[in-house]
Chains A and B, each alone.
Chain A
Amino acid sequence: MRPDGKPEGIRQSMSWLHTWTGIVLGWLLYAVFFTGTLSYFLDEVNLWMKPELHASVPGADAAQTAAVALAGMQKLAPAANTWTLEMPNERQTTVSASWRDRNAAAGRAGTKRAELDAATGEKIEARETRGGNFLYRFHFELHAMDRATGRWIVGIATMFMFVAIISGVITHKKIFTDFFTFRPKKGQRSWLDAHNATAVLALPFHIMITFSGLLLLMAMLMPWGAEIAYDGDRQAYNMERRGMVAGAQQQREGEGKEGREGRGGRSRGGAADAAPVDLAAAIGPMMAQARNAWPEHAVGRITVNRPNKPGATVELRAHGSDSLTTRGASERLVFDAATGKIKERPPLPTPSAASAVGNVFASAHMGRFAGPAVRWLLFLSGVVGTAMVATGLVLWVVKRAPERRKLGRTPFGHRVVEVTNIGVITGLALATGAYFWLNRLLPVEMAERAAWEINGFFLAWLAALVHAALRPARSAWKEQCIAIVVLFVLLPIVNPVTGGHGLFTSIPLGQAGIVGFDFAMLAIAALFGWIARHLVRKDRPVAQVVPAPLKEVTP
């Protein structure tokens, strides 16, 4: 690769590989990291973007909340075959209810959903929005293309990320002696230090997140092994992977529903005309038993099978689990609704060694298990990862500044990279801010409302890119940073003005999810404000030719 034809060492060739895989897929990876990092707070974003749900404040007594919710379901869907209630927790203010009617279509289509006020059990009508799910989906399947294509693109970028990690480690000569070193105010040196520090210090996170990302996309990227081994029977493959035997699932479900009905009918004889169980009254003692069974965990989900019919059962599931190997499986208790006695205590599944390892990576990637401390750790690690990609992208431009100066002009390719850097790094943050604003500004009754929030996101992103192309690089960086600060710092004010619970309400009520979102927005504003301050300060003395702003993007 050397123009002078001299032989090249492993470091140079790895450096070349690192630079070019980095710049070619860096923008995409930045977007994946940025939206993926926000997805650690998926529930919080969803909650914030539906301010109607803020008014629901669960009482201290979970059994009371459960009783109220079941009474609400009795009014909402008395004839349903199953009710599923997700109980409020530190990330959710309402009871999320779903139910299936007797002749409902299979799968998701047949499931109806509603959010219930945790204090009254009344149904809450929330605005139409994709909420955080848009950002979450975007981070692994992009948008406006079919799912498979998006996942392929992100999967390929993830593989290149892996290449970039390995080639980066080989390229970095003083990986151990530079471990704690950051030299500020030294232009390119500082950028390289910041890039190295964010990459090396968070290396375990980067490897985990990239590798597990690949594993999660594996079935899409490399389906052939499984196709051949299972003769194209994807369902059988998935069943076995999850530690189930094909066919056993249906059988078990059959027992659970028809079988139970049959048995109940026989043993009870004429009990079919007995008055249906008042579940709202019966749930209290069941909740107490669950609390005794798992003192560490709250009840996360209540499933009622065959409510208002003979042989009804109530299943309580613990909120959260202690292990990554089971991928979110948690303890369950099944009660006979009529007697309130424990009927079954299904054991936790024991996954095979291979799927246990897979589950550890998948759970770690998604943070599904995580309490607040570990969730914030993952989020902050995501911020470090985002900063690593961003510093790498900026470094590409900074490194080529001497070449520009020598030429006395900016080569077109350099300018393209520079503009795209701005349009992606600050532009994506601007677009996200616009998305949150539109969530509150678009009229609630608007047609295609959710789609227009997303259109607004992409229009804002495009506008940022155009702005970056029209302005000198330094001004573009500065102006976009300031715009981000304005957008994000005002969000905690926009929130109460447009119907949500502002900090003065949410803090006294202990609504951690809403408080967390508002503080995260202020933190983003502070981060970009700090960068903007650097840019403004540096502009005051003689204007520099070198576009070396944004010195420490490290958090």
Chain B
Amino acid sequence: MKALIVLALSYAAMAAVSLSMARHQEQVYGKAFPAMALRLGGWALLAVALVPAIAAWGTSVGILAWLGFLTFAALAIGLQMTYAPQPVRWTAPAVALLGAVGWVLA
């Protein structure tokens, strides 16, 4: 459960970071647009994902686990941008919501 929360938040964060880049904006929305807010929001969400990781595993293991989840969240986004970029419009907010709900309930 705790693993899924960290993974979900990292996934949403990586989605935001990728959508702040022109190449991926074109893939998903067909045009590029300035997106500093998305970029900062993505980075902030990445930092937020560290909180449940440390709460679940303690500081040292938590940081290690967080880095691991970031890697696999980024890999997931990389694969999604390769094979099915469009659905990220709804998968990212949906997963972010699930992660947040899971965190509140846990």
Pair B60/A182 contact, Cβ less than 8 Å:
no
B78 contacts chain A at the CB level, 8 A cutoff? yes
- Bin the interface of chain A by size: 20 to 34
A129 contacts chain B at the CB level, 8 A cutoff? no
Whether A324 contacts B61 in the complex (CB less than 8 A), given A180-B77, A373-B3, comes out as yes
B11 contacts chain A at the CB level, 8 A cutoff? no
Interface residues of A in 87-112 (CB under 8 A from B): none
Whether A380 contacts B72 in the complex (CB less than 8 A), given A370-B61, A373-B65, comes out as yes
Among B2, B61, B74, contact of A322 (Cβ-Cβ < 8 Å)? B61
Pair B60/A374 contact, Cβ less than 8 Å:
no
Q: Smallest CB-CB separation from A325: which chain B residue?
A: B60
Please encode chain B, from 91 to 105, with 1 for each CB lying within 8 Å of some chain A CB and 0 for all others. Answer: 000000000000000
- Closest Cβ of chain B to A132, distance in Å, is 22
Q: Smallest CB-CB separation from B68: which chain A residue?
A: A377
Residues of the A chain whose Cβ atoms lie less than 8 Å from the Cβ of B65: 373-374, 377
Pair B82/A324 contact, Cβ less than 8 Å:
no
What CA separation (Å) do A364 and B64 show in the bound complex? Answer: 7
Q: Which of B17-25, B30-38, B43-51 contacts A (4 or more CB under 8 A)?
A: B17-25
Pair A384/B3 contact, Cβ less than 8 Å:
no
B86 contacts chain A at the CB level, 8 A cutoff? no
Interface residues of B in 51-106 (CB under 8 A from A): 57-61, 64-65, 67-72, 74-75, 77-79, 81-83
Pair A201/B21 contact, Cβ less than 8 Å:
no
- Closest Cβ of chain A to B65, distance in Å, is 5
- Closest Cβ of chain A to B16, distance in Å, is 12
A-B contact count (CB 8 A): 80
Q: Smallest CB-CB separation from A359: which chain B residue?
A: B60
Pair B23/A323 contact, Cβ less than 8 Å:
no
Pair A201/B23 contact, Cβ less than 8 Å:
no
Residues of the A chain whose Cβ atoms lie less than 8 Å from the Cβ of B2: 373
- Closest Cβ of chain A to B11, distance in Å, is 12
Q: Smallest CB-CB separation from B19: which chain A residue?
A: A180
Please encode chain A, from 123 to 158, with 1 for each CB lying within 8 Å of some chain B CB and 0 for all others. Answer: 000000000000000000000000000000000000
Residues of the B chain whose Cβ atoms lie less than 8 Å from the Cβ of A183: 82
- Closest Cβ of chain B to A35, distance in Å, is 20
- Closest Cβ of chain B to A279, distance in Å, is 34
- Closest Cβ of chain A to B53, distance in Å, is 10
Interface residues of A in 380-415 (CB under 8 A from B): 380-381, 384
Whether A360 contacts B60 in the complex (CB less than 8 A), given A181-B23, A182-B79, A373-B3, comes out as yes
Interface residues of A in 171-199 (CB under 8 A from B): 177, 179-184, 197
Q: Which of A201, A369, A554, A555 is packed against the most chain B CB atoms within 10 Å?
A: A201
A526 contacts chain B at the CB level, 8 A cutoff? no
Among B3, B71, B81, B82, contact of A201 (Cβ-Cβ < 8 Å)? B71
Whether A323 contacts B74 in the complex (CB less than 8 A), given A182-B79, A184-B82, A374-B68, comes out as no
A458 contacts chain B at the CB level, 8 A cutoff? no
Please encode chain A, from 183 to 223, with 1 for each CB lying within 8 Å of some chain B CB and 0 for all others. Answer: 11000000000000100011011001000000000000000
Q: Provide the main secondary structure of the chain B interface.
A: helix
- Closest Cβ of chain B to A31, distance in Å, is 23
Pair B68/A323 contact, Cβ less than 8 Å:
no
- Closest Cβ of chain A to B40, distance in Å, is 15
- Closest Cβ of chain B to A468, distance in Å, is 30
What CA separation (Å) do A197 and B83 show in the bound complex? Answer: 15
Residues of the A chain whose Cβ atoms lie less than 8 Å from the Cβ of B71: 201-202, 204-205, 381, 384
Q: Smallest CB-CB separation from A554: which chain B residue?
A: B75
Among B59, B70, B81, contact of A323 (Cβ-Cβ < 8 Å)? B59
Pair B21/A177 contact, Cβ less than 8 Å:
yes
Residues of the B chain whose Cβ atoms lie less than 8 Å from the Cβ of A177: 21, 23
Q: Which of A363, A373, A381 is packed against the most chain B CB atoms within 10 Å?
A: A373
Pair B74/A201 contact, Cβ less than 8 Å:
yes
Whether A324 contacts B18 in the complex (CB less than 8 A), given A179-B74, A201-B78, A381-B71, comes out as no
- Closest Cβ of chain A to B89, distance in Å, is 15
- Closest Cβ of chain B to A148, distance in Å, is 30
Residues of the B chain whose Cβ atoms lie less than 8 Å from the Cβ of A555: 75
List, sorted by A's number, 24 A–B pairs whose CB atoms are closer than 8 Å. Answer: A179-B17, A179-B74, A180-B74, A180-B78, A180-B81, A181-B78, A182-B78, A182-B79, A182-B81, A184-B83, A197-B75, A201-B75, A204-B70, A204-B71, A322-B57, A323-B58, A323-B60, A323-B61, A360-B60, A364-B64, A374-B57, A377-B65, A384-B75, A554-B75
- Going nearest first, the 6 A-B pairs with the smallest beta carbon separation are A377-B68, A324-B60, A373-B3, A204-B67, A322-B58, A182-B82
Instruction: Enumerate chain B interface residues (CB-CB to A < 8 A).
Output: 2-3, 14, 17-18, 21, 23-24, 57-61, 64-65, 67-72, 74-75, 77-79, 81-83
